[in-house]
Amino acid sequence: MAQKIILGKTKAPGFTLVEVAVALGLLATSFLGTLTALKYNQKNKNQAQNIENSSNLQPVLSQGLENFILNVKDANKNNTQALCKLFVTSADDDVDSPLVEIKIVLEESLLKSVFPDKFWDDAFPAWTRVSCSKENQGVLTRCFKLNYSLLSEAVRKKMESLNPEVVASITPLGVDPLDPLAANSDQSKMFYPLPISKDPKKPTQVDAKKVIFKLNSELTYSPSGTESSIRKKDDTAKLLWAGDVGFCNTASGKKLSPTATGEGDPLGRTFYNSPSFDPGINPPLTVIPYKKQIQTGIADNGRIRTDLERNIEASCNEVKFRCKNDSETDRVFKPSFYVDFGLQYDSRNSIKAIPSTRIAPDFTIRQDAGLATSANGSKTDVLETKGADTDFALDDFTKSYFEFNDHFYNKYFTTTKPPADAAEMALDDKKTHQLRVRVVNANNACQEICSDDNLKSLPYKARLAYTLWDVTNKESPNGYHREYLSTNSIGCTACYMKNCSRFGLRTFGPMKEQPAEPLDASLPECAIKNTADLAQPIPVNATTAAIDATTVYTPQKSCVAASPDPTSGSLSFSFRDCSEKLPVLCFNYGRFFVAKNVSNSTVSPDRVAFADAYERCYKTGGEKAPVDRLREMYKQQGENPEFETNLKNLPVAGGDSDSVYFVNNANQGIFLAPQTTEQIKNAAQNIKVDFPSETYVWVGYRTDENFKLWAAPPISGGRNAAENEFSLFFDPNGRARLATHKEKPDVTPPVTSQIGGYVLTHHIRHRGLVPVKMVQDRSSFEFLCRKSTAPYELFKTTGKASKNQNDGISKCKQENGVFVPPTTPLGWVKALTLVAEPHSNYPHPEPSSVIPALWVGLQTDNTLVVDINGTPSSYLKDGTYLSVPPTDANVKVMCETKTGFFVSKPYDSGAEKKGCPDDAKWINTAALTGMVNKTRWLLAADDGEVFYVADP
Amino acid sequence: MRTLMSTRGQAVVVLSAGLALAGAFMAIVLNRGSAQLGDAVSEKSRQNARETAEKAVALGGFLVANNLVLCREDGWSGLSRKCRWGGDLVSPAVDKSVYYLEQQEGSDQPLTFNAKIDFEVDPLKAAGGVKLSDSKSPVKISFDLINDSKIKNLVGEVSASAKPVDQDHYFVAITAQVPYLDVKGNQNNFDKTSLLRRPMGTPFLGLPESPQCPAVCSTAVSEGPHPECRGPQDVADGNVGSVFITVTNYGPGPIYRLNYKKTVAYDKQYFPDLKPVVSTVNAMATQEVLMPGQSMSVSDVFPCVKPKTITKTVVENETCSRRRHTCPANLNPVSTSISSHQEEVGDVRYDFDLTKLSESLEPARLARRIDKREVEGDIDQAVTEKTTVKIHYIPTH
């Protein structure tokens, strides 16, 4: 390798260091030339030829050191030698994560093995290594004397007089001013020496890109013409940054990039130094339970939109309205519900940096006891440890997941359990995944989850547990990491409406906030299911105080108005002239409210006479709808030829040719008075909120001269105007139905100057009392009766249909009843449901071509000219009740107690008080005279009972 | 050996093309001073200058690789140059003075520091050992970001296999200028320029929440407080849904540009005429740099579209049979309406189009593993990892 050098001519006079320099330079170049792929070959040659003095010598020396460090290629041209041998990574070589920590290891035995003496000897071929003096000891320090035997005789002599010696050293320096080692440096926080550990177990490790090597060569010689004892020292330093290496190869064929300044790598075969990556922070799996279960919507300027803020993660969804007081087992839930989790695997995680993994999801629904403090003070979710006693078992469930791909629904995986292996998900860090858990047969689970109206203190939660698999061990994958995640409480969504499939505001919502009545109800259906409500007395007194103490009662003044009481939050009632025009309190949309005119920008109450209140309440179902939008709605739901026809029939709204106006019979309202304490309170509240300045509003009560209230019988509203012939509602599948209603009750109308009867109808189109001829020409109807014994329930006869209303007395009696009408608002509601039950999905009965009807024990005044096609004001002048002589031996008398309550007692014709207790008052004929013209023996008592009062 | 004219008109010598691309540092050696033989003292002075310049560029490379000097293709707001000191953005902050740097004012030139770079090291001192000497004529270190269009022949090209993930055409040119007295006693400068690519950043898009398209519908004018829809299930004002995306830079270098390709695809059953909509999301908004370890969130919007139809057929038994299990009865195909509480109607996907990587990411290099299939396959289809979330359509209730 080394060769003897014969110096040629030189421009410099005499023998100076130039000779040494040239000689060394050529020697060094010669040495370098034996290495492959030398970068600096040419450069060195040039430098060597230009060397004039010791300053030119130094680069050559340090160049040797630089090659020593940077010439990292092995025989296969891979960068594995020298500096590359000092690199270590934080990851296993078989790991596929591109970002790792790359450090330089500074430890004595390693450095000795990487840079053995032979390397130094090869780097300084013209020199002979000698022991260093005491002050020049170091792991990466070597001392040399010139190898004179390699020189020509002439040169050798000169060199011997110069006697050059070299101390070559490599010093790793830290360059991170924030490094604690920098703080220890007594002179600079930059370029501070890094300690070289002597303990292989505790090597110094430094971020590879923060290390600079100082390559120092110190030359001492005796200058020409001086005494040999006078030594001149000339040294120089070169800095070599670890980044200069570019990259290193690993044994497994990967690359290490200490500065990440090189090429990108599409195959993941390069480790990039990323010290900012802290694997202790990143969990391997991010799981987000998606909040996409809608809970409620909000009204927004004439439109409805979803309230995303209130969405929840998972929910038991009721599909049928259930009254709050009904048995909880009556709730019907959707048979399945979904819990969707978004999953993202991050290969740069705290567990193991592998590019993909698998998980076996384990889904349970359990009651949550919150966080418990364990013995060591850490908080654990009790879900994890709660045990079998409270573990809630699902009947069955399926798991499925979507692996997102290029196309929607491209991959869909579902499985039932078992087998367990099929329920595994493969996860890699290049895609996001969605785990969809579908809980089937959910009804039973939901019954439990939603018991107590979901107000339980320990709510149920969905829990996803998973085991991450070490897929790098393909032979025997091991689960090595188990985590779980709890969703927020599983919600319970209750139907707020009978029509729980409709598109519209507040169709459903949180169970905890469920309203008392369905919000699309046009009858207080829940109140009548509650026997306590049904028996709740109607308000007793219609006082005169509100009007004028001197007002004298007359039948014309038997109509009742309500006033919100500002202090009690209740209503007070007073009797007023029936022809007075007042706002009307109606029931519709699940509540009592004052009918209002919404066609103007300023909403105001409509004022009508009492007799017109029936029609006005019916019309609270009126709506003005945009035609184009309606058409588009139907189009979106698929072709519907029937719809176009019906749409054309809808009357154009006055003053707005783009809209139609019609009374939606599916939403028709009713003139009905509030009866229960709760209803009265709500009604008072609604009046105050809507129209705080209104003092009196008509309510569906009449009174007698004793100021006792009874329900104004509900006359059917919605006569034959064209706008009244339509209904528009959503069916249980959420499809809109627009229907035209030409149906009429199949009845013989009343005849002029004859006392007529009433039938009670309940149909989407016609609801309430319809005056008819007392003896029908062709139609027969069953009878609405009341049991003659407590609790005097309303019922309808079976198999006793008759054309003659008067048959009611005998027909009812055959079923242990009496032929009397209801007397309370809720009694009338109950009666309507006896005519036809509201559909379980609608607030009205299932639409039918036949209008069901029952005979009711009410007669028309014989002076009335009534016709089914007549105007609403023609009906029920005085609320005339049918006169039925008491023929029943079980007739009772009504007595008013000292405390103002009515009680019934068996009739005793011989007794002074006809059977009433001594301290009670017998309600005699005289007291009832003014109530209605011909009804002298019928009253409703405070306890909801109905009585005959025998004609004395 | 090749020669080129740098932006400052100096002759620079590139010694080994491709080294900088491979991540190595020493790319260019420049010597403006003549290499004449001459006075030993002067030559010693020049030699010292050379050594000092080498130290200076070594320091410069260190500063770039450690994110202490940041260079951005589009420059910085308020600055007319492309590089700036980045010590204030690393955590904890590092002041220039720690490296004995003093920034030279002047906005229209490369980032230039006056540096005390001429130091001595005594390797044998147990602690410390660095002596800084006061430079009478301070060394200048300057940084500029240059496009490889002028030096392409010199720096070489990235390997074919790396091209899909390496479209970074920028180099930081680090120039050290060291004054010295030449043989005639004149003030002269020794210049050395090195090229280094910026360290790559690694964006990671966290899993976003499921985006939702809230529906709206018109209602009729009525007395009902809870009206029904009297119009189609439409989309809300602005016709957009939003998704909150969070990006973390896993480093090691900063990210200066981050534009995701966003593909919004809708279910054909609800939207038979709708083709996937592709757009670009700037995940950095107006922020100019995302440092390693830093996360930022941006609210992204995507088009919500009115469903053409709101009924669809769910064929669940198909996948069920694929698993060879007995299909439960409730997995039979059913025609269902969107009227349920929520429906999945599409998805939003974020990725990089590798054919436009330089528009998507700066520096335009990726350290991420890409499927071999995707690299070898149609390059137009090659994308990086995909972050996809389902769009839920929330009907009005």
pLDDT in tens, B250-309: 888 999 999 998 888 888 877 888 888 888 999 998 999 999 988 999 888 888 888 887
Put simply, the chain A residues between 697 and 716 with a CB less than 8 A from any chain B CB are none
Instruction: State what percent of residues in chain A have pLDDT above 70.
Output: 68
Q: In angstroms, rounded to a whole number, what is the distance separating the alpha carbons of residues A719 and A724?
A: 7
Q: In angstroms, rounded to a whole number, what is the distance separating the alpha carbons of residues B138 and B74?
A: 30
Q: Which of A159-168, B8-17, B231-240 has the lowest mean pLDDT?
A: B8-17
Q: Which of B196, B225, B243 marks a domain boundary?
A: B196
**Are B190 and B268 in the same domain?**
no
Asked if residue B12 belongs to a domain, the reply is no
Contact B220 A623 (CB under 8 A): yes
What pLDDT, on the 0 to 100 scale, is given for residue A180? 76
**Are B54 and B171 in the same domain?**
yes
Residue bearing the bigger pLDDT, A156 or B217: B217
How many CB atoms are closer than 10 A to CB B376?
A: 12
pLDDT digits (tens, 9 = 90+) for B111-120: 888 776 555 4
Q: Answer yes or no: are the C-beta atoms of A289 and A339 closer than 8 Å.
A: yes
Put simply, the chain A residues between 165 and 204 with a CB less than 8 A from any chain B CB are 169, 171, 173, 175-178, 184-193
Phi, psi of A204 (to 5 degrees): -70, 130
Q: Which of B167, B196, B225 marks a domain boundary?
A: B196
Residue bearing the bigger pLDDT, A604 or A94: A604
Q: Answer yes or no: are the C-beta atoms of A215 and A237 closer than 8 Å.
A: yes
Put simply, the chain B residues between 199 and 218 with a CB less than 8 A from any chain A CB are 199-200, 202, 204, 206-210, 212, 214-218
Residue bearing the bigger pLDDT, A864 or B239: B239
pLDDT at A350 over 60: yes
Q: Which of A473-482, A779-788, B82-91 has the lowest mean pLDDT?
A: A473-482
**Are B137 and B75 in the same domain?**
yes
Q: Is B94 part of the contact surface with chain A (CB cutoff 8 Å)?
A: yes
What pLDDT, on the 0 to 100 scale, is given for residue A34? 26
Among residues A861, A490, A402, A928, the alpha carbon closest in space to that of A705 is found at: A928
Contact B268 A317 (CB under 8 A): no
User: How many Cβ pairs within 8 Å bridge chains A and B?
Assistant: 483
For tokens 């009680």, what's the residue? A903
Residue of B nearest to A193 (CA): B128
Mean pLDDT across chain A, nearest whole number?
Answer: 73
Q: Which of A196-205, A313-322, A528-537, A766-775 has the lowest mean pLDDT?
A: A528-537
Confidence of residue A25 (pLDDT cuts 50, 70, 90): very low
Domain span holding position B327: 203-394
Residue bearing the bigger pLDDT, B37 or A138: A138
Tell me whether strands A542-543 and A571-576 are parallel, antiparallel or unpaired.
Answer: parallel
Put simply, the chain A residues between 611 and 650 with a CB less than 8 A from any chain B CB are 620-626, 629-630, 632-633, 635-638
Q: Answer yes or no: are the C-beta atoms of A439 and A338 closer than 8 Å.
A: yes
**Are B289 and B164 in the same domain?**
no
Q: Is A152 helix (H, G, I), strand (E, B) or coil?
A: coil
Number of domains in chain B: 2
Residue bearing the bigger pLDDT, B244 or A385: B244
**Are B120 and B54 in the same domain?**
yes
Mean pLDDT over A492-516 rounds to 90
Asked if residue B35 belongs to a domain, the reply is no
Contact A185 B232 (CB under 8 A): no
Distance, in angstroms, between A192 CA and closest chain B CA?
6
Q: Is A724 part of the contact surface with chain B (CB cutoff 8 Å)?
A: no
Distance, in angstroms, between A275 CA and closest chain B CA?
7
∠ CA A398-A403-A404, nearest 5°, is: 135
Asked if residue B5 belongs to a domain, the reply is no
**Are B117 and B83 in the same domain?**
yes
Asked if residue B335 belongs to a domain, the reply is yes
**Are B231 and B311 in the same domain?**
yes
What pLDDT, on the 0 to 100 scale, is given for residue B111? 82
Q: Which helix (H) or strand (E) holds A686?
A: helix A677-690
pLDDT at A670 over 60: yes
> Which site among A192, A503, A598 would you substitute to test the B interface, given the most B Cβ atoms closer than 10 Å to its Cβ?
A503
**Are B45 and B183 in the same domain?**
yes
pLDDT at A881 over 70: no
Residue of A nearest to B202 (CA): A99
Contact B250 A169 (CB under 8 A): no
Q: In angstroms, rounded to a whole number, what is the distance separating the alpha carbons of residues B148 and B125?
A: 44
User: What does the DSSP assignment read for A280-312?
Assistant: TT--SEEEEE---B---EEEETTEEEE-GGG-B
Residue bearing the bigger pLDDT, A606 or A242: A606
Tell me whether strands B240-249 and B295-303 are parallel, antiparallel or unpaired.
Answer: antiparallel
Mean pLDDT over A21-49 rounds to 33
Q: In angstroms, rounded to a whole number, what is the distance separating the alpha carbons of residues A686 and A688?
A: 5
**Are B262 and B149 in the same domain?**
no
Mean pLDDT over A42-53 rounds to 35
Asked if residue B15 belongs to a domain, the reply is no
Q: Is B231 part of the contact surface with chain A (CB cutoff 8 Å)?
A: yes
Q: Which of A268-272, A462-466, A789-793, B165-169 has the highest mean pLDDT?
A: B165-169
Contact A637 B311 (CB under 8 A): yes
Q: Which of A306-310, A534-538, B148-152 has the lowest mean pLDDT?
A: A534-538
**Are B73 and B217 in the same domain?**
no
Q: Which amino acid is at B239?
A: N
Asked if residue B75 belongs to a domain, the reply is yes
Q: Which helix (H) or strand (E) holds B359?
A: helix B357-360
**Are B187 and B296 in the same domain?**
no
pLDDT at B132 over 80: no
CB neighbour list of residue B204: distance below 8 Å, 6 or more residues apart? A346, A348, B247, B248, B249, B250
Q: Which amino acid is at B56?
A: A
pLDDT digits (tens, 9 = 90+) for A190-246: 678 888 999 999 999 999 988 888 877 777 877 665 665 677 666 666 777 888 888
Q: In angstroms, rounded to a whole number, what is the distance separating the alpha carbons of residues A14 and A154?
A: 12
> Which site among B222, B245, B266, B352 would you substitute to test the A interface, given the most A Cβ atoms closer than 10 Å to its Cβ?
B222
Q: Which of B164, B196, B228 marks a domain boundary?
A: B196
**Sign, CA torsion B253/B258/B263/B264:** positive
Residue bearing the bigger pLDDT, A88 or A428: A88
Contact B253 A638 (CB under 8 A): no
Asked if residue B30 belongs to a domain, the reply is no
Among residues A949, A700, A931, the alpha carbon closest in space to that of A820 is found at: A949
What is the complex's ipTM, to 2 decimals?
A: 0.81
Asked if residue B318 belongs to a domain, the reply is yes
**Are B235 and B329 in the same domain?**
yes
